[in-house]
Amino acid sequence: MARTTGELTGAEAARGALPSGARAAQAAQHERAPGGPGVNGGPLFDQRRRPLRDLRISVTDRCNFRCGYCMPRSVFGPGFEFLPARELLSFEEIARLSAVFVSLGVRKLRLTGGEPLVRRDLPELIRQLPKAPHLDLALTTNGSLLAPHAEALAKAGLERVTVSLDSLDDATFRRMNDAQIPVQTVLDAIAVARAVGLSVKINAVIQRGVNDGGLLDLVRHFREHGLVLRLIEYMDVGNSNGWRHSQVLSAREMLERIDAVFPLESIESSYPGEVARRYRFRDGSGEIGMIASVTQPFCGDCSRGRLSAQGSLYTCLFASEGHDLRALLRSGQTDDEIAKRITQVWQARADAYSEQRGAPLVKLSRRPKIEMSYIGG
């Protein structure tokens, strides 16, 4: 990677540096962010002055895939008990909580899971969610069920979809999803989503020795198709995936492999708290993102809350416990009372798991964590 203005060396990237202009712009935006009112009328900040900006909403704990890094079949097999329907938040409950979160300053709602499209009538939920010019509405999906629903989702008000696709090689992809879903099904769904006007990004988790051999194929393909690919380091989420550090391909190594074939330069993040570090191809043919939560923790900017399918609020992807908002909904509390509870939870937040995992890794990893399929990515 040759260095120009705003550009990082691999070492800087590995240390988590941002071009100084980008950091300053982020800091300024944090300061002047309008925020939502906390209980005392000010912006809602946590213990580290991180605002609540982004809400991930898991609509189901179920999935039709069994990705080894998330829901391995050995754990999530035929005997596994998923949540019964009555335990899930209804669409009305999700919409009501979403509106409360938006009143507290949330600017981005992302539906996730499990696989959100296994829940019936998802377009109806999209219709019920709050809409506003400053509010970004997105969906993360494995893409296998997207094609038949894409148009209805777009008509209901969905703007953006992130499709997870870890390999273009059919045998590797089938092995990874462990559900015999062909890669072409997902590629077709991406085409349909674009055709109906959805903005599409691609997520790929890269695991050393599993799919890293196809890294450049993924980059080449989505570059040629004009789509932003975001490469994710394999994380130690949940307690089921048997995570080993040796299977993590670091963002730095990914960047080096890509840069050797498609020269890259770093660019500024698009908004404060963006998880992906952005790089553009030096020939002007688009960009990629790197989500390096293992080797370049971004806890300092983390503005994400997570609502589980059961209606508990988690303040970190690696949290052990959530805060039950469903009980408040179902015991007749008012929106103001619920807002007050969310405010208390957020203001007490001090999570920074990824920053802390380094030295006491073993100790932290043994602490039971919520499964990612309960609270989404």
Q: Which residues bind ligand SAM (CB under 6 A)?
A: 63, 69-70, 112-113, 115, 140-142, 164, 203, 205, 232, 234-235, 237, 241, 372-373, 376-377
* Residue 255, helix vs strand vs coil: helix
SS3 state at 317: coil
Question: CA 254, CA 333: separation in Å to the nearest integer?
Answer: 49
The number of residues that bind ligand SF4 (CB under 6 A) is 24
117 contacts: CB under 8 Å, gap ≥ 6 = 141, 144, 145, 146, 149
Which of ligand SAM, ligand SF4, none does 141 bind, CB closer than 5 to 8 A by kind? ligand SAM
Residue 121 tokens read as 């009538």
Give the C-alpha distances (Å, rounded to integers) separating 299 from 18, 274, 302, 349.
14, 11, 5, 12
The smaller minimum CB distance to ligand SF4, of residues 59 and 126, is found at 59
The CA distance from 377 to 56, in Å, is: 8
Judged by beta carbon distances under 5 to 8 A according to partner kind, the member of ligand SF4, ligand SAM, none in contact with residue 316 is ligand SF4
The binding track of 238-277 with respect to ligand SF4, each residue x by CB under 6 A or -, is ----------------------------------------
Contacting ligand SF4 (CB under 6 A), which of 7, 274, 351, 371?
351
Partner whose binding site includes residue 295, from ligand SF4, ligand SAM, none (CB under 5 to 8 Å by kind): none
Q: Cα Rg for the chain, rounded, in angstroms?
A: 20
Q: Are 308 and 375 a contacting pair, CB within 8 Å?
A: yes
- Residue from 316, 325, 339, 345 binding ligand SF4 (CB under 6 A): 316
Give the max Cα distance, the chain.
60
Closest distance to ligand SF4 from the beta carbon of 336 (Å): 27
Residues that bind ligand SF4 (CB under 6 A): 63, 65-67, 70-71, 113-115, 142, 164, 293, 298-299, 302, 304, 316-318, 351-354, 373
